[in-house]
Structure 1
């Protein structure tokens, strides 16, 4: 099995060759009509380019032809240093995906060169003692600035979301090994759509945990908040694979967006993270209070631990504790930072400083 998350991915060099398939006589004729030199075989056609700007112009030209001719092309690009072959193996991607990789070259470089790091935001229990951290993607020091939303949007458009999701998970695992002792929970996000076959696609994650001699029981893998669940059975299988390795799973943003109450009931995650939109001023809103109570009651039925996200006021925290919520997270306890609140973690029972 192979995919963009596991195949080697290289930046586009100044010169190289574009390969297209399948061979379309109409496309070949259209390109030759424009005076382009194009070589071809039974399996594919190809042409050379001398710089990235020429490549971008040609790709836009071919995208327009693809639409007019109602064909679907796959593309592969080789640099001038690669040996020529008319029988290519490796990753073929859609024309639009390849064009996006050229269009967003700076962001693609950020992804491929792993110019990001993991920040940690504390998670506390009802007595305000820190029991773990959520790991969040942030720009590397001296790296290009970006928002996580922007990075993952481009990753989706360019077919690099599996690669980004995997490398981000590993970065979080490595950061946790640097700062946190055993017994401290590490909440790590993942994209369900990036995991085509859990037993295969999660191998890198499990190998990183083993390589760093970490305890699998300390890890909680949570469905990323912006991801719409398309195949519930696939996500259930992913949960099963994580759990079979001794890890826990969490469902994010419960009560809002894509993470519905019904989804929570069917998945029965180990941790239920209530969306911040329900937590905001919940102490003053009876409708929110009832929704929160319902989530807590439903979670209790299958033994899920409830975590309130987005706590910014003591009053919100007090209400959440009063209805039986065990865990909390938010700016009230600490913002995401490059290191734990007191630097290298020393005492797993210390309280969040404000």
Structure 2
């Protein structure tokens, strides 16, 4: 049955919700080198179906959590992102770490015949796995075939550095909140410096998310951030259908 939120909008039950997921689409935001703004790839950002209550991705995932099908929803959206990824460009695609643990065998099957050299899976520490070491072992055979990993939202939690050390990602993506503070004082810059030092230790590249000003881009580059993503470099471009 459907439910209602505080402003009276109708939220669908499980059956309708899963049907609406077939209408999600994606916006493509470039990721560039800080030195010359040359594009090295793009992140696929999910956009909810054309249903008012679910259009915002945060509402979409919050309702999936309410229905107790968060991981199933995440996996279905991940499969759609895979189908719509650019074929000749490095594609950064989000997936929750617990989703990987739940659907590991299916992911192996999906990836069996794919060229993984241009694929980057982004994992967030906001919803961590049961163990980062165990998660790294799940990815080991796929990384041997060219798959890259990114640790998203770095700088939000104290455990981020430990997660990076255990997962050994190829990219560390600094959370927007950290990027916004780099121009406000030394504390914000010190956090970015710590992230860059960890990245250098494990051989990862650092991506700053939410870069909107030239000043922030300059400071971040001086601190050792090599890649950037944000309105300064390009807004997400929405495309309803992608053909190849």
Question: Structure 1 residues 338 and 195, CA, compared in 2 at 3 Å: closer, same or farther?
Answer: same
- Distance in 1 (alpha carbons) for counterparts of 2:201 and 2:180: 25
SS of 2:237 mapped into structure 1: coil
Question: Structure 1 residues 203 and 181, CA, compared in 2 at 3 Å: closer, same or farther?
Answer: closer
Who is 2:28 aligned against? 120
- Distance in 2 (alpha carbons) for counterparts of 1:315 and 1:227: 32
Residue 195 in 1 paired to residue 195 in 2? Answer: no
Residue 169 in 1 paired to residue 69 in 2? Answer: no
Q: Is the 8 A contact 1:107 1:154 kept in 2?
A: no
Which structure's relative contact order is higher, taking Cα pairs within 8 Å and 6+ residues apart? Answer: 2
Question: Structure 1 residues 135 and 201, CA, compared in 2 at 3 Å: closer, same or farther?
Answer: same
TM-score normalised to structure 2 length: 0.83
> Which whole-Å deviations, capped at 9, do the CAs of 1:278-310 have from their partners, x for residues lacking one?
111413411111111121112111110111111
- Aligned pairs (5 A) from 1:1-354: 104-105=11-12, 109-113=16-20, 114-126=22-34, 127-140=36-49, 142-144=50-52, 145-176=54-85, 180-182=86-88, 184-196=89-101, 199-203=104-108, 205-206=110-111, 210=114, 215-224=115-124, 226-257=126-157, 260-339=160-239
TM-score normalised to structure 1 length: 0.59
Q: Between Structure 1 and Structure 2, whose CA radius of gyration is higher?
A: 1
Q: Is the 8 A contact 2:125 2:163 kept in 1?
A: no
- Distance in 1 (alpha carbons) for counterparts of 2:158 and 2:78: 22
Question: Structure 1 residues 225 and 232, CA, compared in 2 at 3 Å: closer, same or farther?
Answer: closer
- Distance in 1 (alpha carbons) for counterparts of 2:230 and 2:91: 16
Tell me by how many angstroms 1:199 deviates: 4.4
- Distance in 2 (alpha carbons) for counterparts of 1:152 and 1:265: 28
Who is 2:6 aligned against? none
Q: Is the 8 A contact 2:122 2:151 kept in 1?
A: yes
**CA-atom RMSD, angstroms?**
2.7
- Distance in 2 (alpha carbons) for counterparts of 1:299 and 1:329: 17
Task: Provide structure 2 residue ranges, at least 5 long, that are not aligned to the other structure.
Answer: 4-9
Q: Is the 8 A contact 1:252 1:259 kept in 2?
A: no
SS of 1:283 mapped into structure 2: coil
- Distance in 2 (alpha carbons) for counterparts of 1:330 and 1:158: 32
- Distance in 2 (alpha carbons) for counterparts of 1:120 and 1:110: 24
